Amino acid sequence: MSPTNPGTSAPSATDAINYDDANVILCGFNNKIEGSRRSTIINGAGNYIVGRYNTHILGDYVSPTDQNSQSNGTSLPDLVDNAFYLGCANGLYSYGDVVAYAASDANLKDNQIKISGCLEKVQSLDAIEFDWNGNQQTYSGHDIGLIAQQVSGIAPEIVTERQNGYLAMKYEKMVPILVGAIQEQQDQIKVLNDRVEYLMKKLDSMS
C-alpha cells in the first residue's frame, strides 16, 4: 500500500503502514518514527513521530497526546505536519536575533473595544528590580520586571500558570495597556493646559 500523494502529503490512517520514507533519527535513545515521511528526530529521548509529514524534533518526550504523556500526567501537544518542535526544560536560547511578526490585522479581530482605565491599571503595578532565586534554573542575577500576580489582576489574558505552578506572562502584551495609559495621560495634560491657558488669559485681561 502506498500513500495517495507520496511527494507532499501526510499519510492517512490506512496509509500509515509501510509509509516510512526519508526519515532520520540522528542521536538520542528510545526514539521512534513510524508511518511518516521526511521526518527527523535530531536528538533527545522518548520522542515519537507517527503518521506525520516533514515533522522534526529536538528535545525530550515530544509526541502526540494520544500516544504519550509526560511522567507527571500532563498531556503533550499534538504533532502537526511541516513543523519543528523543541522540547526543553529550561527555555529556548538564540545567540542571534529572533525576528517574528504577530498577526494583528483588523480583519482578524471581532468585537473590538478600546481598553478603558489603562492609566489606573498601570498605576496599580509595581515596576521592580530583583534578584532571581533558585526556584528556577533559566535566569540568574539581578533583573527588572513586573509581578505576574499583579498583572493578572488587570489583564488575566496575558498571564498563564505553568505546569510547575509558577506564573508567566507575555510582556509584549503590556504594550496596548501602556499605549492606552499614555493616551489617557495626554488627555489629562491637555485639560490642565487648557485650564492654565484660560487662567492666564483671564489674568492678562485683568491687568
pLDDT tens for the chain, 207 residues long, are 334 344 445 555 445 445 678 899 998 889 999 889 899 999 988 889 988 888 898 888 887 654 443 433 344 456 778 888 887 666 666 677 878 888 999 999 999 999 999 999 999 999 999 999 999 888 889 999 999 999 999 999 999 998 889 999 999 999 999 999 999 999 999 999 999 999 999 888 887
96 within a domain of the structure (yes/no):
no
**Cβ neighbours for 65, distance < 8 A, ≥ 6 positions apart:** 75, 76, 77, 78
**What's the confidence (pLDDT) of residue 189?**
97
- Dig out the grid coordinates for 48 from the structure: 515519537
164 within a domain of the structure (yes/no):
yes
171 within a domain of the structure (yes/no):
yes
| Distance between start and end Cα atoms, the chain | 100
Pair (196, 138) in one structural domain: yes
Pair (200, 137) in one structural domain: yes
Domain limits at 64? Answer: 1-88
Pair (131, 169) in one structural domain: yes
Is the distance from CB of 31 to CB of 12 less than 8 angstroms? no
pTM over 0.75: no
Domain count of the fold of the chain: 2
Is the distance from CB of 67 to CB of 41 less than 8 angstroms? no
**What's the confidence (pLDDT) of residue 67?**
42
Pair (19, 76) in one structural domain: yes
Which residues are paired to 85 by β-bridges? 57
75 within a domain of the structure (yes/no):
yes
Is the distance from CB of 21 to CB of 9 less than 8 angstroms? no
**What's the confidence (pLDDT) of residue 88?**
66
95 within a domain of the structure (yes/no):
no
Pair (140, 74) in one structural domain: no
Pair (202, 134) in one structural domain: yes
93 within a domain of the structure (yes/no):
no
Pair (78, 134) in one structural domain: no
192 within a domain of the structure (yes/no):
yes
Is the distance from CB of 87 to CB of 44 less than 8 angstroms? yes
**What's the confidence (pLDDT) of residue 11?**
52
